[in-house]
Amino acid sequence: MHALVNSILKILRGHSLVKNVRLVSYDETPAGKLEVKIRCRLADDYQFQIWLHHEPQALDYAYQLFTDQPLLRWDNAPHYPNITTAPHHYHDEDNKVSESQLIGNVLQDLNLVLSQIKKWLDTKDVLTG
C-alpha cells in the first residue's frame, strides 16, 4: 500500500475522534496515480470521509464530515476562483463557501481538519454531552 495511505490510516487510527476506519476504495497504478477513499465512524451518527486523487504532479482532495447529509467540507475543486485561497475552499454546515486553511499537504491538512471537526463537534456537545 502507498506510504501516504499508511500514514493517513495511522493518524486516523490514533485520533481520539475516530471510532473505526474503513478503506472504501483504493487504486494505485505503476505510473504513480493513486485514488483512495477512506471513511471513519465518529461519535453518534457522524462520519468522516477522505477522498484523494494523487498524481505525480497534482493532488485533488475532499474531506467531509457528514451524517445523512454533508455538514463540513474542504476541497480543492476549482469551482470558486474568486476565493483568496483558491482552489482550496471550505463549505460550512449551511453550505456557505469560504477560504480554507488547507494547502494540499495531506498529512498536515488532515490534522487541521480533524482539529476543526473536534471544535465543531464540541460546539454541538457531541463529545461532552
Q: Indicate the number of domains in the chain.
A: 1
Domain hosting residue 59, numbered range: 3-123
- In this prediction, what percent of the chain has a pLDDT beyond 90? 86
Contact 31/43 with Cβ under 8 angstroms? no
Is residue 62's pLDDT more than 80? yes
118 in any annotated domain: yes
**Mean pLDDT value of segment 56-62:** 93
What pTM, to 2 d.p., does this model score? 0.93
The Cα–Cα gap between 128 and 64 comes to: 22
What pLDDT sits at residue 70? 95
pLDDT in tens, 73-116: 999 999 999 999 999 999 999 999 999 999 999 999 999 999 99
Is 128 a domain residue? no
Instruction: Give the mean pLDDT of the chain.
Output: 94
Whether 64 contacts 43, CB under 8 Å: no
